[in-house]
A and B are shown apart, each in its own frame.
Chain A
């Protein structure tokens, strides 16, 4: 590609990335997006001489000013300022693209693209931004370098206009080698950016923190949920929750089925479930631990690590057996702000909605099942938990029939669950039964006999309540697919589930009446699934390690770095795992540091070996090229002449670069150099053999070498004589 074409492609890449970044976060309207995309595409075809006409430039200047006035008027009439500003900066970029004539215009395009990227930081924290950023990292060196070259060529008056036009239209300057080497600049830029990113002290003052982005919409965790709300999301593969933990609890990778409890509902009005009003009691925390049952104890508990995406409901999901939650304080305004986690009726945990972001937390699960609990009836509104709508008489009759010979609440519950789940009377289906104004539960139980989890859980809850058993309907996630790239279980929106908790024998017991056929429904694994898994792992890492990078992580990383440095130092000093003060260092840390050291050493060795290989290959190729350039009979003469050059250098009369051997000889003759006859003989023999293709016999070579030796033995030339 020619210089101009490369510059055009690169310009559109960087401008496109900037504009795309603006659209992240969903603030940009669809219509505006369409117009910007259209302008972007049309500008590709805007070329000189059209864009060089003054009328064209003036027209775009007037358009930019006019659009600004329109945006101001729209702002006065109440349109979102953020959206108006985004539209305007996007329009400016399109205007620049329509007027890309000189290097300066291209510089402005780059600056605007950078501003777009900076603006996008308040719109989104998604991994898409990370991908855009990597794209910019790759394109920026090309863009800045080629633009700079263009500017230099434009401003250099000494270059003939025809020559300048030739440089712009041919591949002389910007060839594949240029593009490759400039692309390699991405690596240092990346590493320096990374280093600076990691090292900048995170002392956010938070005066102007903007978090304008909303969470993922979810169904089932708000104040109420309509019967049938879950079925529509069974096909949605969006990951909302990532859980990792010890194999002791989860089993070998890929085998666990996780049940993560979200919220519960106690009131059912025949159409929808509702949570009754209750106080949100803040859970008292200590060192970032929030006891549900008690403070965590690493000897008694398993720790599950959870990465929760930002949902529109700030629910903290916990598995069965959770005894405590732990999440570090948030860092804001230059200090630590303790997170507020509240518990409300129905064993419901939520974090502060004002944080407007997801939550990374740990859940401690007791090894002792005796400790497993989901609260008690104390504080619960038992009336609500046993409330049954008046029109469910037929349901009550069915329940009574099913539990006629059951002696205990547990037996009653088992009968009802078995009827719904195992009797093959009911079928799991995402298709909603046609209700047509009738009671949906009766239609489900007595006519359609198919439905999804909410129908099953609601039916079970109502049937249990008719038997006087306090029951609540629970929303959460069940399932999880193992992501081998991130070593965690991903729970998707499709894994949203509904089940029942019943108060039996003074405990809340989990009952899941949904047939196992549910597991067969859901997003199928396709060829794309591994890619999706990989992207999700990248997204999780992005969220944890980039978006969530804070002063605490920074301090820990520095501490680890110092520890690693200390291990390296000790390693080379031959010390053991004792620290400098004679204390025994943390064995785990030392072991992991040593293993890291070994890995770094191996990596360094491989890198060194590769570098050496590349060097040798290049050297071999170069010498092969040189060999090809010199006829075989001339090689011996070249060697002798190199010896002569060394001798002359020692005598203080080196051959300067750009001076031919014959010119140098002439120079020495002018100096009346002692030994000039020998130099002449060797030089002439060299020129004859090197360029005249006349060979040298062994006797010739011996004679020439003797000449070189005589030159070498001579006295050095006084410095003043070097100048001819």
Chain B
């Protein structure tokens, strides 16, 4: 979760709720009765009903005054899986309490759902609430900001206040479990080395200590001799790499079925990425037109998921065959069976 950045709202929208419409309907009936009968007591009732509508509009505006809103979206959200979105609201008014506020993401063209609900925010206080959002598809969701909604005090008028804060929310693909016979990713001495730094078992050389390096990797004797901290670099073993292949070559005349299969392959790939990482492998997603960053062992595989989230089909004629690392464990996500290199 990122640190909240508070925004103050500008645009306002008010509309009648279902109950509000019924209320207005009754008021019109009473107005007709008042005009028709000339009975002052009916006029009195009409005055009361209309004053409730007016006050509802004013009060809903007042409880939304001087609110500062901040959003914290989860860094990792998978399509089809609930993601917890948190909102913080600060009531910057000195005296009055805000009641019954609901905050939701403002996505252009998407009707508001049930967002984070705040029962009460005392003057000067910050309140936090969260709601669960399920993204329907992978990719980038363009957020225009967020909207604060209230039906306070009487539920007659629903007022939105829209907070502009354009941002993007990357939704990872859905994860579709697949059965796979995983090899063991324990260290094996005879493995080929990739001649690139990583969390493998073979020492590769020494370098200066950098923030974040593990203490156990410090070469103490050499550090003492040099008077500065140096760490051992290790090389990654090829056999601990899992390459997940997603064929994104778009054949000529592809129909909807192809796209469904493609999305299924991506969903399976996303699952395999997680599984491989959990099993201690380094993971890389390979597509026809590129590949993700190699996610090392013990590192969260977000880079691979991000790659999958943004992977688009490319016309097949422009593409070369995929190239896999020698010794790596390759899985074709479009196939139930693992493919050996």
Q: Given the known A-B contacts A192-B55, A663-B3, are A205 and B38 also in contact in the complex, defined by CB atoms under 8 Å? A: yes
CB of A209 within 8 A of CB of B37, answer yes
With A and B bound together, what is the CA distance between A156 and B149 in angstroms? 13
Tell me, rounded to whole Å, the shortest Cβ–Cβ distance linking B288 to chain A: 36
CB of A189 within 8 A of CB of B55, answer yes
Tell me, rounded to whole Å, the shortest Cβ–Cβ distance linking A672 to chain B: 18
The B-contacting residues of A in range 159-191, CB under 8 angstroms, are 159, 167, 172-173, 177-178, 181-182, 185, 188-189
Contact for A156 among B37, B50, B117, CB less than 8 A = B117
The B-contacting residues of A in range 174-217, CB under 8 angstroms, are 177-178, 181-182, 185, 188-189, 192-197, 200, 202-210
Selecting from A145-153, A403-411, A415-423, the interface stretch reads A145-153
Contact for A141 among B37, B88, B153, CB less than 8 A = B153
Contact partners of B204 in chain A: CB under 8 A: none
B5, B40, B100, B120 pick with most chain A CB within 10 angstroms: B40
Contact partners of A547 in chain B: CB under 8 A: 40-41
CB of B41 within 8 A of CB of A185, answer no
Question: Chain B's interface: helix, strand, loop or mixed, by majority?
Answer: mixed
CB of B154 within 8 A of CB of A656, answer no
Contact partners of A195 in chain B: CB under 8 A: 47
Is residue B96 within 8 Å, beta carbon to beta carbon, of the partner chain? Answer: yes
Tell me, rounded to whole Å, the shortest Cβ–Cβ distance linking A721 to chain B: 15
CB of B155 within 8 A of CB of A202, answer no
With A and B bound together, what is the CA distance between A113 and B33 in angstroms? 17
Contact partners of A548 in chain B: CB under 8 A: 40
Contact for B90 among A114, A133, A209, A658, CB less than 8 A = A658
CB of A204 within 8 A of CB of B52, answer no
CB of B4 within 8 A of CB of A148, answer no
Is residue B134 within 8 Å, beta carbon to beta carbon, of the partner chain? Answer: no
The B-contacting residues of A in range 113-135, CB under 8 angstroms, are 114, 117-118, 120-122, 125, 129, 133
CB of A158 within 8 A of CB of B114, answer yes
With A and B bound together, what is the CA distance between A137 and B42 in angstroms? 15
With A and B bound together, what is the CA distance between A133 and B41 in angstroms? 9
Is residue B30 within 8 Å, beta carbon to beta carbon, of the partner chain? Answer: yes
A121, A137, A185, A189 pick with most chain B CB within 10 angstroms: A121
Contact for B35 among A120, A178, A194, A205, CB less than 8 A = A205
Is residue A546 within 8 Å, beta carbon to beta carbon, of the partner chain? Answer: yes
Contact partners of B120 in chain A: CB under 8 A: 172-173
Contact for B55 among A173, A188, A657, CB less than 8 A = A188
Is residue A107 within 8 Å, beta carbon to beta carbon, of the partner chain? Answer: yes
Selecting from B124-132, B174-182, B265-273, B290-298, the interface stretch reads B124-132
Chain B residue at minimum C-beta to C-beta distance from A120:
B41
Contact partners of B47 in chain A: CB under 8 A: 192-197, 200
CB of A167 within 8 A of CB of B119, answer yes
Question: What sequence of 0s and 1s flags, for each residue 38-65 of chain B, a beta carbon within 8 Å of any chain A beta carbon?
Answer: 1111111111111110110011000000
Is residue A638 within 8 Å, beta carbon to beta carbon, of the partner chain? Answer: no
Contact partners of A148 in chain B: CB under 8 A: 100, 151-155
Contact partners of B38 in chain A: CB under 8 A: 202-206, 209, 331-332, 550
Contact for B33 among A140, A202, A208, CB less than 8 A = A208
CB of A658 within 8 A of CB of B39, answer no
Contact for A192 among B36, B51, B129, B151, CB less than 8 A = B51
CB of B33 within 8 A of CB of A193, answer no
Is residue A520 within 8 Å, beta carbon to beta carbon, of the partner chain? Answer: no
CB of B119 within 8 A of CB of A157, answer no
CB of A121 within 8 A of CB of B39, answer yes
With A and B bound together, what is the CA distance between A129 and B48 in angstroms? 14
Contact partners of B97 in chain A: CB under 8 A: 177-178, 181
Tell me, rounded to whole Å, the shortest Cβ–Cβ distance linking A660 to chain B: 10
With A and B bound together, what is the CA distance between A50 and B59 in angstroms? 37
Is residue B19 within 8 Å, beta carbon to beta carbon, of the partner chain? Answer: yes
CB of A149 within 8 A of CB of B92, answer no
CB of A657 within 8 A of CB of B68, answer yes
Is residue A443 within 8 Å, beta carbon to beta carbon, of the partner chain? Answer: no
With A and B bound together, what is the CA distance between A122 and B3 in angstroms? 62
Question: What sequence of 0s and 1s flags, for each residue 120-144 of chain B, a beta carbon within 8 Å of any chain A beta carbon?
Answer: 1000001001111000000000000
Is residue B34 within 8 Å, beta carbon to beta carbon, of the partner chain? Answer: yes
CB of B114 within 8 A of CB of A204, answer no
With A and B bound together, what is the CA distance between A568 and B45 in angstroms? 33
CB of A136 within 8 A of CB of B48, answer yes
Chain B residue at minimum C-beta to C-beta distance from A158:
B131
Contact partners of A149 in chain B: CB under 8 A: 99-100, 119, 152
Chain A residue at minimum C-beta to C-beta distance from B59:
A185
Tell me, rounded to whole Å, the shortest Cβ–Cβ distance linking B160 to chain A: 15
Contact for A200 among B4, B34, B36, CB less than 8 A = B34
A155, A177, A193, A547 pick with most chain B CB within 10 angstroms: A193
Is residue B6 within 8 Å, beta carbon to beta carbon, of the partner chain? Answer: yes
Q: Given the known A-B contacts A144-B155, A158-B131, are A111 and B26 also in contact in the complex, defined by CB atoms under 8 Å? A: yes
Question: What sequence of 0s and 1s flags, for each residue 491-530 of chain A, a beta carbon within 8 Å of any chain B beta carbon?
Answer: 0000000000000000000000000000000000000000
CB of B30 within 8 A of CB of A118, answer yes
Is residue B116 within 8 Å, beta carbon to beta carbon, of the partner chain? Answer: yes
Tell me, rounded to whole Å, the shortest Cβ–Cβ distance linking A542 to chain B: 10
The B-contacting residues of A in range 312-366, CB under 8 angstroms, are 331-332
CB of A205 within 8 A of CB of B70, answer no
CB of B96 within 8 A of CB of A197, answer no
A155, A156, A332 pick with most chain B CB within 10 angstroms: A156
With A and B bound together, what is the CA distance between A181 and B59 in angstroms? 12
Contact partners of A194 in chain B: CB under 8 A: 47
Contact partners of B45 in chain A: CB under 8 A: 114, 117-118, 121, 133
Is residue A659 within 8 Å, beta carbon to beta carbon, of the partner chain? Answer: yes
Is residue A571 within 8 Å, beta carbon to beta carbon, of the partner chain? Answer: no
CB of B153 within 8 A of CB of A193, answer no
With A and B bound together, what is the CA distance between A153 and B119 in angstroms? 8
Q: Given the known A-B contacts A197-B43, A200-B47, are A206 and B116 also in contact in the complex, defined by CB atoms under 8 Å? A: no
Chain B residue at minimum C-beta to C-beta distance from A129:
B41
With A and B bound together, what is the CA distance between A363 and B54 in angstroms? 44
CB of B68 within 8 A of CB of A196, answer no
CB of A657 within 8 A of CB of B117, answer no
Contact partners of B40 in chain A: CB under 8 A: 197, 546-549
With A and B bound together, what is the CA distance between A514 and B51 in angstroms? 56
CB of B155 within 8 A of CB of A122, answer no
Contact partners of B3 in chain A: CB under 8 A: 659, 663
Tell me, rounded to whole Å, the shortest Cβ–Cβ distance linking B96 to chain A: 7
CB of B48 within 8 A of CB of A140, answer yes
Contact partners of B92 in chain A: CB under 8 A: 657
Contact for B46 among A147, A167, A196, A659, CB less than 8 A = A196
Q: Given the known A-B contacts A147-B155, A194-B47, A663-B3, are A121 and B36 also in contact in the complex, defined by CB atoms under 8 Å? A: no
CB of B44 within 8 A of CB of A133, answer yes
Tell me, rounded to whole Å, the shortest Cβ–Cβ distance linking B104 to chain A: 11
Contact partners of A209 in chain B: CB under 8 A: 36-39
Tell me, rounded to whole Å, the shortest Cβ–Cβ distance linking B265 to chain A: 34
CB of B70 within 8 A of CB of A121, answer no
Listed by A's residue number, 17 A-B pairs whose Cβ atoms lie within 8 Å are: A107-B19, A118-B45, A125-B41, A140-B52, A144-B52, A144-B155, A152-B100, A155-B114, A185-B55, A189-B55, A192-B47, A193-B48, A193-B51, A196-B51, A200-B46, A204-B38, A206-B38
Interface of A with B (CB < 8 Å)? 107, 111, 114, 117-118, 120-122, 125, 129, 133, 136-137, 140-141, 144-145, 147-149, 151-153, 155-159, 167, 172-173, 177-178, 181-182, 185, 188-189, 192-197, 200, 202-210, 331-332, 546-550, 618, 656-659, 663
Beyond A144-B155, A192-B50, 19 additional pairs, beta carbon < 8 A: A111-B26, A118-B33, A121-B41, A133-B44, A140-B52, A148-B151, A148-B155, A149-B100, A156-B102, A158-B131, A178-B97, A189-B51, A203-B38, A206-B38, A209-B37, A210-B39, A546-B40, A550-B38, A663-B3
Q: 10 shortest A-B CB distances, which residue pairs?
A: A204-B38, A192-B51, A121-B41, A196-B47, A193-B47, A148-B155, A144-B154, A156-B117, A197-B47, A145-B153
Interface of B with A (CB < 8 Å)? 3-6, 19, 22, 26, 30, 33-52, 54-55, 58-59, 68, 70, 88, 90, 92, 95-97, 99-100, 102, 114, 116-117, 119-120, 126, 129-132, 151-155
